[in-house]
Amino acid sequence: MKVVVAIDSLKGSLTSMEAGYAIKQGVLAANPDAEVIVKPLADGGEGTTDSLIEGLGGERIDVTVTGPLGKPVDAYYGYLEESNTAILEMASAAGIILVSDAEKDPMAATTYGVGEIIKDAVEKGCRKFIIGIGGSATNDGGLGMLKALGYEFLDENGKDVGEGAQALSKVASIKTENVYSKLSECHFQIACDVNNPLCGTNGATYIYGPQKGVTEDMKEPLDQAMANYAKVTSDTLGNDYKESAGAGAAGGMGFAFLSYLGAELTPGIELILNAVGLENELKDADIVVTGEGRLDHQTAMGKAPVGVAKLAKKYDATVVAFAGSVTKDANACNEAGIDAFFPIVRGVTTLEEAMKSENAKANMAATVEQVFRLFK
């Protein structure tokens, strides 16, 4: 029997790989002869870097970069030396979690630090990038990131436009002479789960701006400023991604990656499943195990476990899911390809006790063992 395990983290309790190895322990307790393959799982959002560093044997690289409000912040990325790949989340350098509610300032917030991380990784030898762009504090169209990589954005007087969304309306010309030369050797894959264009009432500013501090009276001027930035970009580079799906992601970071770095925007779960090589292991799998902290109807709407299930069904494997808890509407997961799911909590307990790592591991292993006794 071949069992492939790809389970998302149980946030605050177990990492993806810790949960995976607990499952492996349970499977082998029921069937010592089983072949069990454990793969990391994430959806391209928070925790993706940590999951892939641990699951793919990468190295964590700590760097100090420019934060969203211009102050230094401690960030990090994952380095996979064998494939010259860097894995990072833009939120590490420009995330909304780095800014208090009182400090939110979309006019000033910059993505400059993201460019600094990319440059550091390129210098280390990385030529492939997997980047999650969720959770940003910025609405600068990626201008800050591009400046860190050598692009120059000038106003009508030939002066630097500055940082943040306030700079977008000032962009009159773009100089590319000093762009970091090694960028042309790099391939960028961006985890993006939204389809918003850059501008308009469904664009970056109108839809995502308010959570970053954009007020109602700021929306239209900022949207027009973003359109100006897009026009000058198109005139300079000879491309036009303003209306492309995902261009409006992360305050316009999607647009910057598409227009300036030739990136691919891919749904997060699809990108991660490809990165960990899951499909190859599923081709001869008998049973596939997945799950997450809580299974509910939202899981069925395209979250990581359902991505695993859909891929497993391509090869007619049985799919079983385990979770810290399940809700009454979780049966939607059955319709999405998960054949059966099980909560791992085995008795009355407090949430705090259930989430302790040692308890969660023991509960996971014990529950999995009992389920897999049915497959003997």
Domain boundaries, the chain: 2-41+280-375, 48-269
Q: Is the pLDDT of residue 204 over 90?
A: yes
Residues 6+ apart with CB under 8 A from 153: 143, 146, 147, 160, 161, 167, 170, 171, 173, 174
Q: Which helix (H) or strand (E) covers residue 353, if one does?
A: helix 351-355
Confidence band of 71 (pLDDT split at 50, 70, 90): very high
The model carries a pTM of 0.88
Residue 123 CB partners (closer than 8 Å, separation 6+): none
What CATH architecture does domain 2-41+280-375 belong to? Answer: 3-Layer(aba) Sandwich (3.40)
Report pLDDT digits (tens) over 100-127: 999 999 999 999 999 999 999 999 999 9
* Average pLDDT taken over every residue of the chain: 95
Name the 3-class secondary structure at 264: strand
DSSP 208: I
- Domains 2-41+280-375 and 48-269 equal at CATH topology level: no
What separation in angstroms does the CA of 189 have from each of 88, 178, 260, 313? 11, 24, 13, 26
Cβ 92 vs Cβ 75: under 8 Å: yes
Those residues whose C-beta lies under 8 Å from the C-beta of residue 7, and which sit 6 or more positions away, are 16, 19, 20, 23, 41, 289, 290, 291, 292, 305, 321, 322
Q: For 223-261, what is each residue's pLDDT tens digit? A: 999 999 999 999 999 999 999 999 999 999 999 999 999
Count CB atoms within 10 A of the CB of residue 204: 33
Helices within 200-342 (DSSP H only) = 216-237, 253-261, 268-275, 278-282, 304-313, 332-335
Q: How many CB atoms lie within 10 A of CB 101?
A: 7
Range list of H helices, 285-331: 304-313
What CATH architecture does domain 48-269 belong to? Answer: Alpha-Beta Complex (3.90)
**pLDDT band for position 47 (50/70/90)?**
confident
What distance in Å separates the CA atoms of residue 208 and residue 139, rounded to the nearest whole number?
Answer: 9
